[in-house]
A and B are shown apart, each in its own frame.
Chain A
Amino acid sequence: MSKVNIALRVNGDVYELAVDPWRTLVEVLRDDLNLTGTKVGCQTGDCGACTVMLDGRTVTSCLTLAVEADGREVTTIEGIAPSGEELHPIQKAFVERGAVQCGYCTPGMIMSSKHLLEINPTPTEQEIRRGLSGNLCRCTGYNKIVEAVGEASRTMRSTDKEG
């Protein structure tokens, strides 16, 4: 089967690639673009470790073909901190609230949290748990992750007001 030419816009940068049509988005991100922050935990869309944003909505990149992302905007964990010296408020809250243990679920958790706070800036605890229900974690028991998302929600709102 011949390769397909695609253009991906990833974290603001445009990549023109020739990919096998059966290759998944996460494979292309990790293997071709060396963006290894996105993790593969199951390859079946169940664990959420590979969650990225595609045109502003979260997808499991292990179940998304790279060709489906052609011409679209992809945001990965590498693309959300404002700079190398500053973290996004969600990232900061994850660090400070002890929401990170082994860290393997963390990139996907943060992407799902980011999407949640974009569509619902003031989620209740239950809404946060629902918003993260597609992301499995084996270390934390989720509580500190839920607290971190709540904390980030408060920080982001107060920053918005000041701005």
Chain B
Amino acid sequence: MSMCKYPDYKFIGQSAPRVDAPSKVTGSAVYAGDIKLPGMLHGKLLRSPVPHARIKSIDVSQAVALPGVKAVITGKDTPCIKYGNWRLVPQSQDELPLAVDKVRFIGDEVAAVVAVDEETAEEAVHLIRVDYEELPAVYDVDAALAQGAPLIHDEVDLSGNISLDRKIDVGDVETALAGADYVREDFFTVHAVSHAYLEPCACVAEADAEGRITLWTSTQTPYIVQCLLASTLGIPENHVRVIKPTVGGGFGGKMELRPWEFCAAFLARKTGRPVRFQLTRAEELATGRRRHPMKIRSKIGFKKDGTIVAKDFEVYLDGGAYNSMGPTATFLCGNFGAMLYRFPNYRYRGYHVYTNKPPAGAMRGFGAPQALFAGESQMNMAAGELGLDPIDLRIQNAMVSGDEIPGVATISSCGFIESLQKVAEMTDWRDKRKNPAPNKGLGVGCYSFISGGVFNWFNTIYNFTAAEVRAYDDGTLHLLTMASDIGQGSDTVLRQILAEELGVSVERIRITSADTAMTPKADLGTWGSRVTLMAGNAVVQAAQRIKEQLVGTVSARFNLNVIHEIAFGGDRVFSKARPDRGMTFGEAVAMAVKARRGEEIVGRGYYTPRDRGLVSPAFSFGAQVAEVEVDPKTGLIKVEKMTTAHDCGTVINPMSVEGQLEGSVHMGLGYALCEQFVMRDGQTLNTTFLDYKIPAAEDMPPGESFCVDTYEPDGPFGAKEAGEGLVSPTAPAIADAVWHATGYRCLDLPITPEKVLAGIAARDGGD
């Protein structure tokens, strides 16, 4: 893999192995489900077996009577305080930890049991009797929006089952489309998929004698869990300490307060004993969050020469039974619909619709995989009709640095055109696209993604992220941050950033992260590819504040002229002009501490994006080409190669960026070809990895990638997003390659062999 080189940096640009990798390869890393505390009890949840019903009564007497059972709770035993991530819009907070009057999907949590062991808790759950009055249910957007459809949240004043909408209007779409030389309108449907993180969710809660909670939980957002757990329990935030242990992946699926976290904490207080909940894979697949299925209508107009004049983008998100992170997905779909190209006129209408299914939530890409499957497929189709090469059509309309979506986003660093040119060169695109081998094809898809969000939907009063650095006279540092490493490697990357800024080697940096009682407030969590840029900026600022406290001491010690600049490097602090005049970092700390008569050296840094529009402080870009061979007899698609050129700003850790890219291809491949939920009347039927198929090692195509060299002015050392947007181009690229190989264009994911065979038959029938 070709990688950018940074001769000026010592730690930035290095493929440093993960800080936590040694503990993970020896099995000593502690995940939430590994934690065992003295006296610990085990919890299990009773879930609704029906998709939509009123709860008439619940009888827990038999469960309570089972030997070994320590407590049984239903919704009515709890404070019944609703929660949801969008605190900014309280009426969007539509969930209760345990259902009270109504259940809204198969799997909705109804009661919880704690017992001396998991088996007893499981047995007790089966002894709870719930009398349901079943209600009519709806399982897709059309049924939910039909006249007379049952209202899923009849407790709030909504017009039907649309929980919220978002509108964007830029320019005059109607007039522009009326004047366009070429207009096309297409309809797309995209399906739900699972995060399928390998670690099923687990948590352990402990209550102290005064009722304060410590919760170890598999989460990407300890701060959000802390705040919402406190509010649902009705106790001060400071009485909840959330510790993120090692987390086995999240991909957006672990970024909310969850019922088992509430139940563990509530029951730990009630029983006076630590309580553990461990979900099963079947629970995860049957009831867990998933990526939003969507119905998308996209209308786009061009001039004869291929210049885009307008786009009209309408999206219906199938949100399932609760809002979850649906508001953000509804918001972001509108942004991703307007990204990549210059749309002088743009209209977006997004509708988040309740259905009686497990709620959809945030998942890697957060609206981008869906919006870009539609947008990129449409660009490919339009190129064909306009007689233009799809890469040329993209270059002609590509966003460049300085482009603006008025009031929404401003593009700073942008290597999109370079990505397109590079991927074409790497794949011999022009020749292969013109002269494909039989049954072979290649196709293109592109992406742009955010580096964290600007919009304060969690309505925090604190900075979006924070870091504290403590410097010691032994030459070591302690970095404390609430930023959460869930496997993506932020602990490693933040250490590299701190090492670079202070010139202290990475081995000398200890990191404490994601413990809400120990780390500075706040951090909104790991989602939206925000951590490297935002927490990285906070770390740089904290390091600079350490420097401010040391330069005076060094300057005084060596009697430096006032204009002499002080440098930090090689675990030393010295005069730039006279490098011999300096001391070790530890000596500088010792002298500064003595000068302050014992006060320790601590620096804090914060970051909140300001004056950066509504969406994100920075955007990444990239282009991907898929090469496939299709078996015309079976419809089976073999992806032969994936080639990617992308712009993620400065590459802080090339090995990690490659790992993110390869993981994205894996997830994108599953989304495009083989992952889907099989549903019947609201019931998820495929609840094992045998039936829910994620790609295995043999399914992965070879890949090649290239990082376009850009520098993001708003990011630490020029870095921006690198791990999430990349999941988006794979499905449209593969769909385009299948079309190139067969003439069949898939507009409804996933691209199954059955659809390919039907498409080939239709092609041949049409000849």
Within B249-283, the residues touching A (CB, 8 Å) are: 249, 251, 280-282
Answer whether residue B665 sits at the interface, using C-beta atoms and an 8 A cutoff.
Answer: yes
Cα distance A103–B245 when bound, in Å?
Answer: 12
Answer whether residue B67 sits at the interface, using C-beta atoms and an 8 A cutoff.
Answer: no
Residues of A within 8 A of B280 (CB): 43
Answer whether residue A24 sits at the interface, using C-beta atoms and an 8 A cutoff.
Answer: no
* Interface size of B in residues (CB-CB distance below 8 Å): 56
Answer whether residue B49 sits at the interface, using C-beta atoms and an 8 A cutoff.
Answer: no
Cα distance A128–B698 when bound, in Å?
Answer: 9
Known contacts being A136-B198, A136-B694, is A141 close to B28, with CB within 8 Å?
A: no
Cα distance A141–B703 when bound, in Å?
Answer: 10
Interface majority SS on B: helix, strand, loop or mixed? loop
Q: Choose among A102, A133, A141 the residue that contacts B198 (Cβ–Cβ < 8 A).
A: A102
Residues of A within 8 A of B703 (CB): 143
Residues of A within 8 A of B489 (CB): 101
Cα distance A101–B247 when bound, in Å?
Answer: 10
Q: Choose among B26, B33, B697 the residue that contacts A146 (Cβ–Cβ < 8 A).
A: B697
Cα distance A114–B663 when bound, in Å?
Answer: 23
Among A2-10, A65-73, A105-113, A154-162, which stretch is in contact with chain B? Answer: A105-113
A139 touches B22 (CB 8 A): no
**Contact code string A1-22 (vs B, CB < 8 Å = 1, else 0):** 0000000000000000000000
Answer whether residue B658 sits at the interface, using C-beta atoms and an 8 A cutoff.
Answer: yes
Most A C-beta atoms less than 10 A away, residue of B248, B251, B282, B488: B248
Residues of B within 8 A of A105 (CB): 198
B662 touches A39 (CB 8 A): no
A91 touches B694 (CB 8 A): no
**Contact code string A136-151 (vs B, CB < 8 Å = 1, else 0):** 1111111111100000
Within B483-518, the residues touching A (CB, 8 Å) are: 486-489
A139 touches B659 (CB 8 A): yes
Known contacts being A46-B690, A103-B246, A146-B697, is A95 close to B659, with CB within 8 Å?
A: no
Most A C-beta atoms less than 10 A away, residue of B34, B195, B249: B249
Most B C-beta atoms less than 10 A away, residue of A46, A76, A104, A128: A104
Answer whether residue B330 sits at the interface, using C-beta atoms and an 8 A cutoff.
Answer: no
A104 touches B666 (CB 8 A): no
Closest B residue to A104 by beta carbon equals B248
Answer whether residue B161 sits at the interface, using C-beta atoms and an 8 A cutoff.
Answer: no
Answer whether residue B175 sits at the interface, using C-beta atoms and an 8 A cutoff.
Answer: no
Most B C-beta atoms less than 10 A away, residue of A37, A78, A103, A142: A103
Residues of A within 8 A of B487 (CB): 101-104, 139
Cα distance A36–B15 when bound, in Å?
Answer: 29
Known contacts being A95-B18, A103-B29, A138-B198, is A133 close to B662, with CB within 8 Å?
A: no
Q: Choose among A43, A49, A138, A144 the residue that contacts B667 (Cβ–Cβ < 8 A).
A: A138
Cα distance A143–B659 when bound, in Å?
Answer: 8
B697 touches A100 (CB 8 A): no
**Contact code string B671-693 (vs A, CB < 8 Å = 1, else 0):** 00000000000000000111000
A102 to chain B, nearest CB (A): 3
Known contacts being A41-B200, A110-B25, is A142 close to B659, with CB within 8 Å?
A: no
Q: Choose among B36, B281, B488, B697 the residue that contacts A133 (Cβ–Cβ < 8 A).
A: B697
Closest A residue to B700 by beta carbon equals A142
Known contacts being A42-B689, A100-B18, A103-B246, is A143 close to B700, with CB within 8 Å?
A: yes
**Contact code string B456-467 (vs A, CB < 8 Å = 1, else 0):** 000000000000
Residues of A within 8 A of B694 (CB): 136, 138
A141 touches B33 (CB 8 A): no
Residues of B within 8 A of A46 (CB): 688-690
Most B C-beta atoms less than 10 A away, residue of A110, A136, A139, A140: A139
Answer whether residue A77 sits at the interface, using C-beta atoms and an 8 A cutoff.
Answer: yes
B17 touches A49 (CB 8 A): no
Residues of A within 8 A of B488 (CB): 101
Known contacts being A39-B248, A102-B199, A104-B199, is A130 close to B698, with CB within 8 Å?
A: yes
Residues of A within 8 A of B281 (CB): 41-44, 47
B247 touches A37 (CB 8 A): no
A33 to chain B, nearest CB (A): 12
Within A37-82, the residues touching B (CB, 8 Å) are: 37-44, 46-47, 49, 76-78, 81
Cα distance A104–B246 when bound, in Å?
Answer: 9
Answer whether residue B31 sits at the interface, using C-beta atoms and an 8 A cutoff.
Answer: yes
**Contact code string A83-106 (vs B, CB < 8 Å = 1, else 0):** 000010001001111101111111
A135 to chain B, nearest CB (A): 7
B26 touches A47 (CB 8 A): no
Residues of B within 8 A of A117 (CB): none
A140 touches B690 (CB 8 A): no
B610 to chain A, nearest CB (A): 32
Known contacts being A101-B659, A102-B249, A141-B700, is A39 close to B199, with CB within 8 Å?
A: yes
Cα distance A32–B198 when bound, in Å?
Answer: 23
Residues of B within 8 A of A115 (CB): none
Cα distance A34–B34 when bound, in Å?
Answer: 9
A85 to chain B, nearest CB (A): 10
A133 touches B698 (CB 8 A): yes
Closest B residue to A84 by beta carbon equals B26
A89 to chain B, nearest CB (A): 11
A98 touches B663 (CB 8 A): no
Answer whether residue B24 sits at the interface, using C-beta atoms and an 8 A cutoff.
Answer: yes
Closest B residue to A100 by beta carbon equals B21
- Apart from A49-B198, A98-B658: 8 A-B pairs, beta carbons within 8 A: A36-B30, A44-B690, A77-B25, A96-B17, A98-B659, A141-B664, A144-B655, A144-B662
Interface residues of B (CB under 8 A from A): 15, 17-18, 20-31, 33-34, 36, 195-200, 246-249, 251, 280-282, 486-489, 655-656, 658-659, 661-667, 688-690, 694, 696-698, 700, 703
The 8 A-B residue pairs with the shortest CB-CB distance, nearest first, are A37-B27, A102-B487, A103-B24, A104-B248, A141-B662, A46-B689, A77-B27, A36-B34
- 19 A–B pairs (Cβ distance < 8 Å), ordered by A: A34-B36, A36-B27, A41-B198, A42-B689, A46-B689, A94-B25, A95-B21, A100-B21, A100-B24, A103-B25, A103-B248, A104-B197, A110-B25, A130-B698, A136-B694, A138-B195, A140-B659, A141-B664, A141-B665
